[in-house]
């Protein structure tokens, strides 16, 4: 089954969220990543992520964020192809 989007938390038990982003971009090059975090400054997480959702807004924003990222990614792919 193909992967359309990856959603990951910056707080991970075995590796840092930024390291996880590096692995995702290395092995799943054309897959957008949405980062979940409680960091006050989301610019750190956005360096390699398609979008960012703060932990406190997860329930209210995650679904819409996934839809927005997928729409943007598919639109971008259509332009490239």
Q: Is 52 within the bounds of a domain?
A: yes
> Is residue 6 within 8 Å of 23, Cβ to Cβ?
no
Question: Distance of CA 69 to CAs 4, 47, 51, 52, Å?
Answer: 10, 15, 7, 10
Q: Is 65 within the bounds of a domain?
A: yes
pTM of the model as a whole: 0.80
Question: Distance of CA 16 to CAs 33, 39, 61, Å?
Answer: 15, 13, 23
Could you give the number of structural domains in the chain?
Answer: 1
Q: Is 1 within the bounds of a domain?
A: no
What is the per-residue pLDDT for 81? 36
> How is residue 30 annotated by DSSP?
T
> Is residue 52 within 8 Å of 45, Cβ to Cβ?
yes
Q: How far apart are CA 40 and CA 4, in angstroms?
A: 27
Walk along the chain (81 residues) and give the pLDDT tens digit of each residue.
788 999 988 877 888 777 888 888 888 878 898 988 887 666 666 667 888 888 899 999 999 999 999 999 888 765 543
Q: Is 31 within the bounds of a domain?
A: yes
Q: Is 51 within the bounds of a domain?
A: yes
**Which residue range(s) make up the domain with 40?**
6-80
Beta bridge partners of 35: 8, 52
User: Which CATH number belongs to the domain containing residue 58 in this structure?
Assistant: 3.40.50.2300
């Amino acid at each position: 089954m193909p992967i359309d989007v990856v959603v990951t938390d910056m707080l991970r038990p075995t590796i840092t969220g930024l390291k996880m982003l590096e692995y995702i971009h290395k092995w799943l090059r054309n897959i957008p990543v949405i980062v979940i975090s409680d960091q006050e400054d989301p610019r750190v997480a956005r360096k390699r992520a398609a979008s960012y959702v703060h932990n406190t807004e997860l329930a209210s924003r995650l679904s819409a964020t996934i839809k927005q990222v997928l729409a943007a990614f598919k639109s971008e792919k259509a332009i490239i192809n």
